[in-house]
Amino acid sequence: MLFFDRRPEPVTGTPRWAVLAAWATVWCVIPSAVWRSAAGLGAGLGMSDEWRELQGIPGPGTVYVLSLSVLSIVFASLTLGLVYPWGERVPARVPLIGGRRYPTWLVVALVVAGVVPLAVIVVMSAASWDVLLGVAGRPSPGWVMLATACYLPAALWPGLVVAVTVAYVRRRAQGRAPAPGAPAVRETA
């Protein structure tokens, strides 16, 4: 398992660029999560009081932005399952299906189900950036530039996931072994 191995090795046949892109997926969402969390915890960050009140910060909006920050990092981290052994097979402790490989079609379907809305969110966010940021009508170029620098890497998230998924599908289509030293397990469709 990735989280317990001292030196996790990618699945055999995974291109180095795909491993780097999977890790980049995680790292590209961290700056926006930090910015969002700081705003939720009360840091001014150039946002108007009206915007804060509208968003319920402090209050329920704080819970929302902190939860969104944690979830974005968790979901981005799932991309690592496309390159590491822990994402290849159902854990052995799961009754009936433990140890079986995840079907490629299921993995791709889940990726598409996540990437399409994510891409839509990125485009819609870019279209209404000043309103989302809470600086509409307020001259604060320094804060806007800093917020943009924090959120811009997150715009790479959908494309990185697609690239890593393409590498995953190619590797699975080649029929490579799922992990170095992994026991042979019956294939499932």
What is the spatial distance between Cα 105 and Cα 110, in angstroms, rounded to a whole number? 9
Collapsed DSSP state (helix, strand, coil) of residue 107: helix
Please give the angle made by the CA atoms of 106, 78 and 71, to the nearest 5 degrees: 115
pLDDT at 109: 95
- Boundaries of every domain in the chain: 16-173
Query: How do residues 119-142 score in pLDDT, each as one tens digit?
Result: 998 888 877 766 666 555 555 677
Residue (of 167, 142, 125) closest to 21 by Cα position: 167
pLDDT at 117: 93
Checking if the pLDDT of 74 tops 90, the result is: yes
pLDDT at 138: 59
Cβ atoms of 47 and 39 closer than 8 Å: yes
Place of tokens 């939860």: 67
pLDDT at 55: 80
Query: How do residues 141-168 score in pLDDT, each as one tens digit?
Result: 777 788 888 889 999 999 999 999 999 9
What is the spatial distance between Cα 32 and Cα 68, in angstroms, rounded to a whole number? 10
Q: What integer best gives the mean pLDDT of the chain? A: 83
